[in-house]
Chains A and B, each alone.
Chain A
Amino acid sequence: MIFELIPSTLRMATPLGFAALGGIYSERAGVINLALEGMMLIGAFGYVIGTQASGSVWIGLLVGISFGFVLALLHAVATITFQAEQIVTGVGINILALGVTEYLLTTSEQVSGLPQWQLPLIGSYGFIVYLLPVLMVISHIFLFKTPWGLRLRAAGESTEALEALSLSRVKWQYFGVLFSGILAAIGGCFLASEVHYFTKGMTAGRGYLALAAVIFGNWRPLSGVAACFLFGFATALELANRWNIPGQLLNSLPYILTMIVLAGLVGTSRPPASLGKMK
């Protein structure tokens, strides 16, 4: 019975996982990213209109990613260069993405999905599903085993240390935020390619859920993605609609769990020291 849930778990967890990895890059660099939701949404939108206009899913993917990049650039300029309140900027970007996509959406035609790869035992999925574990491991190695990762984390933990080495905080923060935009947009592209069309507000809070996964996974790529799989499993259970558990309870389980973890009641969750603080 559990095995039946694997496909839908993977499909639910993949967009979350990409957005969560994005969130980790941004937040590790010290920039709160509430804009994941908007970046996913605009990524999904870019994929659909790009594919529609060109007929090629690759162009669609590229358009989606570049839209996410532009939105992330806006977030980065506002929060890093202009040192705006990061939470408010994030909310603003989400509203912007919702509005832009609603305004520009012209058709609701179906578009083709991303190429599927067939694997024995597991089944066939859009190839992005298989990229997630790869990217998760790379991210882990990058953040915790390389000097660049150390610098990125220093931007979020101790700016003084970074500046003492005369390294640029701004550069790493820009990198973190922009990369998070790209990753969240890929998540959005996957979402749109799975359902083959775009609808208004189709991310439906997945960006916030990814943010919850970031916190649940203690700002670490491995546990962050693991959290996404847990959350994806909860959604898969809800969709399977067996055992008579109210779907809404399963739906809100990730949020309840995150609150418990954040309060330190179970395990510990410690944000980067200078997250959200700009001088």
Chain B
Amino acid sequence: MSNFSRKIESILNIRKVSISLFRDGIPQIKRLFVNCVPTLLALAGFFLLCGFVLYVRGQNPLEFYSITFVSGFASFDEFGYVLFNATPLVFTGLAVAIGYKSGLFNIGCEGQLYIAAFTAAWIGIHLNLPAFLLVPFCIGGAMVAGAGWGAIPGFLKARYGAHEVINTIMMNFIAFALMNYLVTSVYQEPNQMIPHTRQIYEAARFPRLASLLPGLPQSNPLNVSFLLACGCVVLCYIFLTYTRWGYELRLVGNARDAASYGGINPDVVTIWVMALSGAVAGLAGAADVMGYRYRFLDNFSSGWGFTGIAVALLGRNNPFGIFAAAILFGLLNKVALDIEILLEVRRGLFLAGQGMLIIWLVSMERISRNSGS
């Protein structure tokens, strides 16, 4: 009898659990839907706007759409370029998101990645070591340099309450000036007009994926740094979601007072979060030096640090979302080049669209948050 009733009970329990799962599941799906709608709307708006502008200027928007959706996927080669373009944006997007999760705006990714790239190049030029030592040295050096450049605004915020946005912007310009000085006055390749350094040792270079993947032609610049970016996405996800530090970081971002009540020092967290963010942004610089150019070129980044903000926004600060958003922006960068050649549309159109996208996304973020709560 008791056995029977227990069985009934357990069946009832299962029913209860499944009902509750069902009940909770709906809001979760709803939330996911609510979360995605603004992003999708913004993206649709982006493409509509681009098409509309082209239409007004007397060009065929359909041609533009067909190029947009075909050009990145027509062959392995084309898709390789998309992933290659996405690589630095994965890093800068993650860097922005790491800061954002902790309530910090890192607008200084651009400066951090320059400093890091130069450090990687310096190590790659001056240390003649075997690859298994030199590659970690270069990557590590880049990360330390980026972290240092990011930690300064973090320290100034923690110690003196100075706003990190202003300081990261200031540090950007200081980095530009410093790099320009170093690469034109001290480390410029001899007998060259171009402001770049000598090439780094072969041992410090990332192999291209073309040598590993048979479908990819040798000319494709996709390299191991893309795999590094993939690894970084997973590591960031694990770090933010499952580790104590990730928890501290998020807690300081969401409830600073609760964090300090719980024995976390928000000032310390601020400093290391900015350092970590700078280190990840620095990987974007290392990826360019070690994987593509094999040297430091002045002004090599085409605003990756700033595009990273858009990437983080679009990916809703989730590492996997950021990965997807970076690939989308990589595609857009490639398409921008294609339409410039094929349709004679200047790529400023995409830049403008990207700016609009940021403004839309950030405006709708607040709306969806208000309607959600």
**Which A residues fall within an 8 A CB radius of B?**
32, 34, 74, 77-78, 82-85, 87-89, 91-105, 200, 205, 208-209, 211-212, 215, 246, 248-249, 251-252, 255-256, 258-259, 262-265, 271
Contact = CB atoms under 8 A, between A and B. Distances in A.
A99 B355 contact: yes
Nearest to A250: B177
Contacts of B171: 255, 259
B178 A85 contact: no
A87 B354 contact: no
A100 B363 contact: no
6 contacts: A88-B313, A215-B166, A248-B178, A259-B156, A264-B160, A265-B160
A12 B156 CA distance: 29
Given A84-B362, A248-B181, A256-B174, A91 B352 contact: no
Interface residues of B, number: 48
Contacts of B350: 99
A98 B348 contact: yes
B170 A212 contact: yes
Contacts, number: 151
Closest 9 CB pairs of A and B: A96-B355, A102-B348, A99-B351, A99-B352, A92-B358, A103-B348, A95-B355, A248-B177, A252-B177
B162 A208 contact: no
B156 A92 contact: no
Task: Provide the main secondary structure of the chain B interface.
Answer: helix
B338 to A, nearest CB: 16
Contacts of B309: 88, 91
Interface in B156-180: 156, 159-163, 165-167, 169-171, 173-174, 177-178, 180
Contact of A92 (B166, B303, B362): B362
A98 B180 contact: no
Interface of B: 53, 105, 107, 156, 159-163, 165-167, 169-171, 173-174, 177-178, 180-181, 185, 303, 306, 309-310, 313, 345-359, 362-367
Contacts of B362: 78, 84-85, 88-89, 92
A103 B349 contact: yes
Given A84-B363, A85-B365, 14 more contacts: A85-B362, A88-B358, A89-B359, A92-B358, A94-B355, A95-B306, A96-B355, A96-B359, A98-B351, A103-B347, A105-B348, A212-B169, A252-B174, A256-B170
Nearest to B170: A255
Nearest to A104: B348
Contacts of B348: 98-105, 200
A248 B166 CA distance: 20
A264 B162 contact: yes
Nearest to A271: B163
Contacts of B365: 84-85
A102 B302 CA distance: 14
Nearest to A97: B355
Given A82-B366, A246-B181, A95 B160 contact: no
Contacts of B161: 264
Nearest to A270: B161
A84 B360 CA distance: 9
A91 B367 CA distance: 20
B166 A99 contact: no
Contacts of A85: 362, 365-366
A139 B17 CA distance: 66
Contacts of B306: 91, 94-95
B359 A74 contact: yes
A205 B162 contact: no
A92 B363 CA distance: 11
A94 B303 CA distance: 12
A48 to B, nearest CB: 15
A101 B352 CA distance: 9
A98 B303 CA distance: 11
A82 B364 CA distance: 8
A117 to B, nearest CB: 33
A191 B152 CA distance: 33
A87 B173 contact: no
A100 B356 CA distance: 10
Chain A CB count within 10 A is highest, among B159, B309, B313, B355, for B355
